[in-house]
């Protein structure tokens, strides 16, 4: 059968972009369909706008430090509208960069949502397209909790485009998305109340990390309501009343409610059943080479049942292209993927938490910890702390986990990830001479 394309990609996010550009370099005919701006969730309403907002949120605390170093204090206020405008300009610039990259690579960009008609045929904007191989890279979407009155709440998608900054924001959720958005909005000057039915924030993370982040959030003025459920959301004029149960049995009045409790693969309208593609739970089921149950249909990124992070999607897309078109079969190794929480304070981890290590290794685990005030905050006399932790397999002396909360955590853990992935031991850490004075050197002095 003669196909229109050798490869058709559904979704121009990180996974789809990396796969299409790598595949076309092998000389295959590639087209990619996208219904939104090119760049996907990461560029449009995910890690890029979140990071820009995180940068903006830190400036108020930078000014506090500056006063301790002799800079005269000045009145400082945040202009929400100016930031939103600048953020949108940057997002559209990045989308154009990705669009131009596709054009220069020779990938055809087709605007619209692709829907399967059969195993090899798709429809995009009324056009029927056939392809030998098809890659699904549609990402995920926010899902609101099932609460009466939840229609009054927003998700992160809407948060980044609000015309006015919330005065008092209630954030529903305890995972890294909810935590970082709550911290960002508090740093920008909004009052924030974090509400969760769980015992604590960041349930999947090391408990010491969760405690350190909680302390930092509390220090910044965020109210945390744990073991608390939202029974209903009721509009009262310009206010929203949250009827709470559990540990905090009260009614909380705010002007904005952000629901950040769950994300699921964005599979709506794909017509997967017409192509016979198997879905497990809410995600597309794939093997180690991103192949679905249909040998010519593949999936990468947040629509699959694997780690949902931008670098993972990029790596999966490139590995798929190398395997299918480059005669270089390869799959990814997920054991030591560094993970960040752009919270305030920020946190980052690589490897096993203490709990997971003990599940795997039993009592053969030793942990090393340190908490200290970084030098930067000494003159301003700010009670800002850094927490670091190493998790070690006693039998081999191998470091199986590194965790950090505090400034530069992301950059430091990113660098440690390589050493830990290559099997660095605690003796290797002890023998390493650090740079003084720095926060990173503390990882080499833990005893």
How many other β-carbons are positioned within 10 Å of the β-carbon of residue 395? Answer: 9
Whole-angstrom CA distances from 194 to 131, 145, 225, 248, 306 are 47, 15, 6, 12, 27
* Continuous H helices in 220-334: 272-275, 310-325
CA 165 to CA 74: how far, in whole Å? Answer: 22
Instruction: Report which of 127, 105, 100 is spatially closest to residue 30, judged by C-alpha positions.
Output: 105
- H helices then E strands: how many in the chain? 12, 23
CA 147 to CA 378: how far, in whole Å? Answer: 46
Asked if 34 contacts 161 with a C-beta cutoff of 8 angstroms, the reply is no
Q: In degrees to the nearest 10, what's the CA dihedral of 21, 157, 218, 62?
A: 60
CA 17 to CA 19: how far, in whole Å? Answer: 5
**DSSP secondary structure letter of residue 346:** -
283-299 burial, b for 16+ CB within 10 Å, e for fewer? bbebeeebbbeeeebbb
CA 250 to CA 286: how far, in whole Å? Answer: 45
Asked if 423 contacts 398 with a C-beta cutoff of 8 angstroms, the reply is yes
CA 444 to CA 87: how far, in whole Å? Answer: 39
How many other β-carbons are positioned within 10 Å of the β-carbon of residue 68? Answer: 14
- DSSP result, 352-370: --HHHHHHHHTT-EEEEEE
Q: Which residues are catalytic?
A: 436
Q: Please name every residue paired with 135 in a beta bridge, in sequence order, or none if there are none.
A: 9, 298
Instruction: Report which of 185, 136, 146, 143 is spatially closest to residue 297, judged by C-alpha positions.
Output: 136
Instruction: Report which of 412, 435, 416, 437 is spatially closest to residue 426, judged by C-alpha positions.
Output: 416
Whole-angstrom CA distances from 196 to 205, 216, 218, 447 are 16, 18, 15, 36
């Amino acid at each position: 059968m003669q196909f229109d394309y050798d490869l058709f990609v559904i979704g121009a996010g990180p996974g789809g972009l990396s796969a299409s550009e790598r595949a076309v370099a092998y000389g295959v005919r590639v087209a990619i369909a996208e219904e939104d701006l090119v760049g996907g969730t990461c560029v449009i309403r995910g890690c890029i706008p979140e990071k820009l907002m995180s940068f903006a949120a830190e400036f108020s605390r930078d000014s506090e430090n500056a006063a301790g170093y002799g800079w005269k204090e000045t009145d400082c206020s945040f202009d929400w509208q100016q930031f939103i405008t600048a953020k949108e300009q940057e997002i559209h610039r990045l989308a154009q960069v990705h669009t131009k990259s596709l054009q220069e690579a020779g990938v055809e960009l087709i605007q619209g949502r692709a829907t399967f008609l059969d195993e090899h045929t798709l429809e995009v904007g009324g056009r029927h397209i056939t392809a030998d191989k098809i890659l699904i890279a549609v990402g995920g979407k926010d899902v609101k909790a099932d609460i009466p009155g939840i229609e009054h709440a927003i998700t992160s998608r809407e948060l980044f485009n609000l015309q006015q900054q919330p005065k008092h924001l209630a954030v529903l959720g305890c995972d890294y998305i909810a935590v970082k958005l709550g911290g960002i909005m508090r740093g920008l000057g909004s009052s924030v109340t974090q509400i969760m039915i769980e015992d604590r924030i960041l349930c999947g993370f090391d408990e010491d990390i969760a405690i350190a982040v909680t302390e930092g959030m509390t220090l910044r003025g965020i109210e945390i309501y744990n073991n608390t459920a939202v029974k209903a959301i009721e509009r009262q004029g310009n206010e929203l009343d949250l009827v709470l149960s559990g540990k905090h049995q009260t009614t909380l009045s705010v002007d904005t409610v952000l629901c950040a409790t769950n994300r699921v693969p964005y599979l709506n309208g794909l017509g997967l059943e017409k192509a016979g593609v198997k879905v497990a739970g809410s995600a597309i089921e794939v093997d180690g080479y991103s192949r679905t149950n249909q040998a010519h249909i593949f999936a990468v990124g947040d629509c699959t049942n694997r780690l949902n992070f931008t670098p993972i999607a990029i790596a999966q897309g490139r590995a798929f292209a190398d395997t299918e078109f480059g005669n270089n079969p390869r799959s990814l190794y997920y054991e030591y993927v560094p993970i960040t929480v752009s919270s305030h304070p920020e946190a980052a981890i690589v490897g096993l938490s203490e709990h997971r290590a003990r599940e795997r290794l039993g009592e053969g685990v030793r942990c090393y910890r340190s908490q200290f005030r970084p030098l930067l905050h000494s003159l301003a006399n700010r009670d800002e702390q850094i927490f670091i932790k190493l998790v070690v397999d006693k039998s081999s002396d191998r470091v199986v986990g590194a965790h950090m909360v505090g400034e530069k955590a992301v950059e430091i853990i990113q660098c440690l990830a390589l050493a830990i992935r290559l099997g660095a031991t605690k003796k290797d850490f002890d023998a390493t001479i650090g740079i003084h004075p720095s926060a990173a050197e503390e990882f080499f002095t833990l005893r």
